[in-house]
Structure 1
Amino acid sequence: MNYVLNAKNVQKYYYNKKNVTKAVDDIDLNVRRGEYIGIMGPSGSGKTTLLNCISTIDTVTSGHIFIEDKDITKLKQNQLSDFRRNHLGFIFQDFNLLDTLTAYDNIALALAVIGRSPETIEQSVGRIAAELGIGEILTKFPYELSGGQKQRIACARAMVKEPSLILADEPTGALDSKSAKMLLQNLGDMNEKRNATILMVTHDAFTASHCKRILFMKDGKLFHELVRGADSRKDFFRKIIEVVSVLGGDNSHVI
């Protein structure tokens, strides 16, 4: 089986003087190449902690995480930096764009740091900008862009180097409904057209309904799984709402 991500017996504990908190409790997770997966769960369920461990932002207490057959839990800090730069793409809720760089340069930087030539960078940025419909705003600085435009630039930056795995943390959380729908369309297109492998944490059922598979977490464990299959997005959305209601999460986000 062609797995991009294979997590085995992953546990994450947080310690303080009085308590030990088990944020991630013995999770196994496999993600095939080209999958578009959402992770949902109520606050404190461990979904963001799990994403942080997969993204190398945080370290596991025990267990192993393999990305492209590389055990990232065994890498040293400098090796992790190189691995993150070459193999992972990130889309954050707060965009994380560099204010002193134009939109073009924010995207191009992802390629420059891995040593791509200027000619390759120009071609790659032009291609991803055309696909995401952002060609007209490449010369603008972040402060000149709307939230939706910033998020599409962040999306382009994550995808331009064609990473093994794209990790998205609440990517629609800071967007209005129109911008959110546009971003979700872009992510869906990248998954379909580029076979991009996407793992997204979200609390929002509407956002999750654009995924192909949803993993639900509760108390640090995997609680349930839904596969969209042949369902329409609206039917998938209704199934997601049913599980969210059982979990006790927020089901106020409706179509």
Structure 2
Amino acid sequence: MKPILEVKNIEKYYGNKGNVTKAINRISFDVEPGEYVGIMGASGSGKTTLLNCISTIDKVTSGRILVNGKDITKLKGKQLSRFRREQLGFVFQEFNLLDTLTIYENIALALTIMKTPAKEIEDRVRSIAERLLIGDILEKYPYQVSGGQKQRTACARAIVSNPSLILADEPTGALDSKSARMLLDSIETLNLELNATILMVTHDAFTASYCKRILFIKDGKIFNELIRGDDSRKQFFDKIIEVVTLLGGDSTNVF
């Protein structure tokens, strides 16, 4: 089966000839359909820059990034906008919901832009809202619901258009521990039940323990890789802590 995402020897430099910073230094990896992959690394390691390049927020200096076999580093203008709209789903630390729209309308927005028929929009929005346990707040506005509910709304918005790849940047960063657990359970549901392909950046070992595979980034390069396999989340968490310790980082949450 062909990978959803292929990252091929990408580099990202900042600065000029006299003062060049290598944020990403020849990174390569693939993500298969239905995988749930985490990216970890200390602050300044290059993990967010990597996600920004994959999401087309930033441009690589060299190398190629392919999604479903298409080199997205060459896309411009309308092609790039269409790719983002149809192929990517985003979940950020800040929820990025529109306060003037209801929860239902926030989730439905991407489908509305894509001119999806109204009946199909309603069916898809209500189906994903029920899976994420927010079916009872669809008529409320973002300011009327909790942080955890906002982030699950962001997850619903990310998946409702059936994108090829969901990108999550520190999705639990603004949540308390209970809300974070509920969100991670929800993301896991999307992965297991809907076969959603997820790439998530996190600094937190507990959050990362939900992934099936983790890439550890150090100084712009892949430092290590862990595959969960048959491990329990607790066993995987312990292995993550060992690598984080080697990286010289820390993890604020305990299991």
Residue 40 of structure 2 is matched in structure 1 by 40
More deviation, 115-124/237-246: 115-124
Aligned pairs for 1:189-228 within 5 A:
189-228=189-228
Secondary structure, aligned partner of 2:73: helix
Residues 230-249 of structure 1: matches in 2 within 5 Å? 230-249=230-249
Cα distance in 2 for partners of 1:245, 1:11 equals: 26
Amino acid in the other structure paired with 2:46: G
Gaps of 5+ in 2: none
How big is each residue's C-alpha offset from its partner over 1:108-159, in whole Å with a ceiling of 9 and x where there is no partner?
Answer: 0011111211111001001001111111101111111110010010010001
Percentage identity across aligned positions?
A: 67
Q: Distance in 1 between matches of 2:101 and 2:75?
A: 31
SS at structure 2 position matched to 1:95: coil
Q: Partner amino acid for 1:197?
A: T
TM-score normalised by length of structure 1: 0.98
Describe the superposition over 1:35-82 as per-residue Cα deviations: whole angstroms up to 9, x where unpaired: 000000001110000000000111100000000111001111321111
What is the CA–CA distance in structure 1 between the aligned matches of 2:9 and 2:17, rounded to whole Å? 26
Q: Deviations over 1:150-200 (max 9, x none)?
A: 001001000111110000000000000000000000111110000000000
Q: Deviations over 1:13-42 (max 9, x none)?
A: 111585211100001010000000000000
SS state of the match for residue 3, structure 1? coil
Query: 1:179 matched to which residue of 2?
Result: 179
Report if the CA contact (8 A) 2:203-2:251 is conserved.
no
Code of the aligned partner of 1:32: E
Question: What letter is aligned with 1:254?
Answer: V
The residue type equivalent to 1:116 in the other structure is: T
When structure 1 is superposed on structure 2, of 56-65 and 77-86 the one drifting more is 77-86
Q: CA deviation at 1:210?
A: 0.4
SS of aligned partner of 2:4: strand
Separation of aligned partners in 2, 1:156 and 1:57: 21
What SS does the aligned partner of 1:185 have? helix
The CA distance in 2 between the partners of 1:231 and 1:199, in whole Å, is 20
Q: Which amino acid aligns with 2:30?
A: N
Shift of 1:202: 0.1
Partners of 1:4 and 1:242 in 2: CA distance: 29
- Matched AA of 1:77: G
Query: Is 1:102–2:125 an aligned residue pair?
Result: no
1:117 aligns with 2:112: no
Deviation at 1:2, TM superposition (A): 2.1
Relative distance call for 1:17 and 1:62 in structure 2 (3 A) is closer
Task: Compute the TM-score of the two structures, normalised by the length of structure 2.
Answer: 0.98
Matched residue pairs, number?
255
Q: Tell me the secondary structure at the aligned position of residue 50 of structure 2.
A: helix
For 2:22 and 2:5, how far apart are their aligned partners in 1? 22
Spell out structure 1 runs of 4+ moving beyond 4 A.
Answer: none
Consecutive unaligned residues of structure 1, counting only runs of 5 or more, are none
Distance 2:24 2:97 in 1: 30
After TM superposition, the structure 1 = structure 2 runs for residues 65-214 of structure 1, keeping only pairs within 5 Å, are: 65-214=65-214
* 1: CA distance, partners of 2:26 / 2:194: 32
